[in-house]
């Protein structure tokens, strides 16, 4: 009940912010799951969420008395309740599988973005590449062990996907600032999407296959800087319908709202730094609005 009360007041705040004509385009084109944010933050939107939650709770209660081991739906994509790295939503909608050539984010979708799976190098990729030695030396000298990635159990077949998260769902991970002071200093100069993205060192063990999936939002671009890539010919990532390798000290850029998967056929660990930046097509005034805690916490339990 407390989650619903918080969601009600947060919805009222967002709905008031969106009344400005300046944000009319955003209000009509930004979707939270399958609901336009303008409607989702209205009273009718709140009632829809309330009804959905009540019905969903009833269905779960009913199914607890029957065997559901064989319940599946091949049309559903990412069948499990989408969670944004530990933050469960008060409402969700299972997304349907689309062509890999189409953006298909699971939670936040700005539908009038003219995006694409892969992006050419830009000033931020060059910035990361120019500072790769600093970042890499700091990571290797830290001697910290990665921990299981939040998506490991759901998405990793064989092997293991682990990480060290510098910026996550709860903001900067301050316990790592003393280990990576120079990296954090470099990140301060970048338009990090802390609201809908994260920054992390990501490690794949040999033999790992990250199953095809899409990210939670198309409001970001994902930058991968190669930190440790001893076998570039044996580990690669497919985004959309194009596959690319990682190269040590080099950066690749993609929109992870497009379907992507990773295959590691090598015998050594692959480590990259993941940096999520605001999508460059989003206006600065929209970014400033979307950074607010009202949006960051919208619908989260």
What CATH number does the domain containing 172 carry? 2.60.120.330
The DSSP element (H or E) to which 296 belongs, if any, is: helix 293-296
Q: Given this model, what pLDDT does residue 164 score?
A: 96
Q: Given this model, what pLDDT does residue 57 score?
A: 77
Residues 136, 261: one domain? Answer: yes
Residues 125, 249: one domain? Answer: yes
Is there a domain that residue 284 lies in?
Answer: no
Specify the pTM.
Answer: 0.92
pLDDT in tens, the chain (301 residues): 788 899 999 999 999 999 998 999 999 999 999 999 999 999 999 999 999 988 887 777 666 665 544 444 445 555 554 455 566 789 988 888 899 999 999 999 999 998 999 999 999 999 999 999 999 999 999 989 999 988 888 888 888 999 999 998 778 998 999 999 999 999 999 999 999 999 999 999 999 999 999 999 999 999 999 999 999 999 999 999 999 999 999 999 999 999 999 999 999 999 999 999 999 999 999 999 999 999 999 998 8
Number of structural domains in the chain:
2
Residues 247, 127: one domain? Answer: yes
Residues 95, 77: one domain? Answer: yes
CA–CA–CA angle 267, 269, 271 (5° rounding): 150
Any idea of the CA torsion for 134, 140, 146, 150, to the nearest 10 degrees? 30
Residues 83, 158: one domain? Answer: no
Residues 261, 140: one domain? Answer: yes
Is there a domain that residue 177 lies in?
Answer: yes
Residues 130, 100: one domain? Answer: no
Residues 26, 172: one domain? Answer: no
Residues 49, 149: one domain? Answer: no
d(CA 30, CA 80): 23
Residue at a domain's end among 68, 92, 114: 114
The H helix count followed by the E strand count for the chain is 10, 16
Residues 214, 157: one domain? Answer: yes
Nearest to 161 by CA among 145, 172, 150: 150
Q: Given this model, what pLDDT does residue 85 score?
A: 55
Residues spanned by the domain of 73: 2-114
Residues 68, 200: one domain? Answer: no
CA–CA–CA angle 168, 108, 42 (5° rounding): 115
Is there a domain that residue 297 lies in?
Answer: no
């Amino acid at each position: 009940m407390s989650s619903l009360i918080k969601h009600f007041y947060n919805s009222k705040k967002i709905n008031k912010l969106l009344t400005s004509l300046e944000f009319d385009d955003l209000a009509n084109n930004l979707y939270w799951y399958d609901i336009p944010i303008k409607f989702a933050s209205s009273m009718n939107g709140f009632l829809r969420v309330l009804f959905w939650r009540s019905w969903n709770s009833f269905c779960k209660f009913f199914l607890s008395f029957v065997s559901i081991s064989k319940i599946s739906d091949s049309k559903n994509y990412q069948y499990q309740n989408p969670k944004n790295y530990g933050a469960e939503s008060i409402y969700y909608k299972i997304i349907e599988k689309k062509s890999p050539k189409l953006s298909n984010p699971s939670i936040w979708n700005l539908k009038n973005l003219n995006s694409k799976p892969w992006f050419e190098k830009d000033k931020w990729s060059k910035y990361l590449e120019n500072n790769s030695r600093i970042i890499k030396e700091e990571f290797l000298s830290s001697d910290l062990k990665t921990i299981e990635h939040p998506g490991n159990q759901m998405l990793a077949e064989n092997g293991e996907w682990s990480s060290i998260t510098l910026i996550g769902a709860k903001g900067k991970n301050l316990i790592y600032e003393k280990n990576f002071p120079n990296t954090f200093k470099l990140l301060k100069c970048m338009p990090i999407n802390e609201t809908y993205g994260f920054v992390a060192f990501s490690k794949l063990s040999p033999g790992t296959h990250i199953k095809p999936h899409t990210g939670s939002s198309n409001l970001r671009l994902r930058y991968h800087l190669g930190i440790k890539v001893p076998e570039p010919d044996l580990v690669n990532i497919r985004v959309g319908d194009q596959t690319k390798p990682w190269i040590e000290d080099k950066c690749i850029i993609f929109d992870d709202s497009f379907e992507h998967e990773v295959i590691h056929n090598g015998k050594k660990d692959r480590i990259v730094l993941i940096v999520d930046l605001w999508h460059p097509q989003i206006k600065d005034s929209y970014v400033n609005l979307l950074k607010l805690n009202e949006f960051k916490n919208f619908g989260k339990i």
